[in-house]
Amino acid sequence: MKKQIFALFVALLLIVIIFIGCLGDSTDKSQGKIIYVDIAGSKDFTNIQDAINNASNGDTIVVSEGIYNEYLFVNTSVNLKGSKYTIINPKNVALNENSLVYITANNCSIDGFTIFNTDFETDIIGINIYSSGNVIKGNSIFKFKYGIYIKDNINGQVITKNNISDNLISNCTYGIYVYSDAENNIIFNNDLIDNNDGMYLYYFVNNSILKNYVYSNTGYGIYIGSHSDGNMISRNVCKNNRYGIRFKGVSFNEIFLNRCENNDIGLYSCCGSNDNILYYNSLVNNKKQASDGFVNSWDNGIVGNYWDDYIVIYTNATQIDGFWSIPYDILDGNNKDNFPLINPFI
């Protein structure tokens, strides 16, 4: 009897081991395989597009250093990972929606590439996104008309849950350009330097624009245009642009904890922008600190903004618990900051 019980125990144990092993195999397969690309020919493929064409959803494509003269059409949910000196130059982009990288699949990632346009006279897009759930991270993008572009809405598709973060975008006409129904996307911690416009956003609803460094753009640092409502714009540094942050014909945006410095105009509301709220921003050494001829709130009922020219304008003001005693008048309208801060946030 004891031998029978022992044999039954061993049999059950083997069944459990086999079952767990099968679960382990299933989990591993769901993670996808790794495909390697090396222009020198020592890996699976010598160009990136061939690797994409042979990949399945969830695969990771690791691209070695080198200069790859091609365009990428990403219609499979893959993860593309470059190294420090993985460079892609445009080739035959007219066949690819005029885009060096054109993403139509959801849940892709483009990470760590240098994307460089050697023919700046043409209207080329660096990364063109026409899908959702993508991560565009850690890339350096130079000399395009559009550095990163969220594509026109053609079929009523809403572009959502994309994460554009930690990229350097420079010498483009538009660093990041959106003209689409785009909701719940994140633009985080990008450097937008020496473009015409840093960000240019239309039909951009309930998104987050956080902690970007927007420097030395000849036009707009951050431009929030028509039908772009309910966004959170916070902790951005907009410095040495013509306009730091401009919002036009929009409502219900929350603009707080930004620093606008050395711009022609720091914060600019125009053309029917109402019901936006601006607080805890630091306005420093702008030729014109702010302009607003519409109905917006320049404090949240508790905290206003820091104006470095305040004490020059309001020489009779006194300090009360971290605030100045006299409200700050916003130029070109009837708005006031009722709780102007004595010190900027750090």
Q: How confident is the model at residue 157 (pLDDT cuts 50, 70, 90)?
A: confident
CA–CA gap between residue 256 and residue 273 (Å, rounded): 16
- What share of the chain has pLDDT > 90, as a percent? 86
Residues 6+ apart with CB under 8 A from 283: 260, 266, 267, 289, 290, 305, 306, 307, 308, 309
Per-residue DSSP letter, 327: P
Query: Can you give the pTM of this predicted structure?
Result: 0.89
Question: What average pLDDT score do residues 219-232 get?
Answer: 97
CA distances from 165 to 133, 186, 199, 271 (A): 13, 8, 13, 30
28 compared with 272, residue with greater pLDDT? 272
Tokens 């679960």 label which residue? 23
Residues 6+ apart with CB under 8 A from 162: 129, 132, 133, 134, 135, 136, 150, 182, 185, 186
> What is the model's pLDDT at position 277?
98
Question: What average pLDDT score do residues 300-317 get?
Answer: 97
> What is the model's pLDDT at position 322?
96
User: Where are the chain's structural domains?
Assistant: 31-194, 196-346
In the predicted structure, residue 345 carries a pLDDT above the cut 70:
yes
- Top-level class of domain 31-194: mainly beta
Structure tokens at 272: 């029917």
CA–CA gap between residue 172 and residue 195 (Å, rounded): 5
Q: How confident is the model at residue 154 (pLDDT cuts 50, 70, 90)?
A: low
Mean pLDDT of the chain: 91
> What is the model's pLDDT at position 151?
82
- What share of the chain has pLDDT > 70, as a percent? 90
> What is the model's pLDDT at position 124?
95
Q: Supply the DSSP string of 184-208, one letter for each residue.
A: S-EEES-EEES-SEEEEEEEEES-E
Q: What angle do CA 155, 136, 45 make, to 5 degrees?
A: 100
18 compared with 48, residue with greater pLDDT? 48
* Nearest one of 68, 67, 27, 24 to 48, comparing CA atoms: 68
14 compared with 259, residue with greater pLDDT? 259
Q: Supply the DSSP string of 23-64, one letter for each residue.
A: HHHHHHHHT--EEEE-TTSSSSBSSHHHHHHT--TT-EEEE-
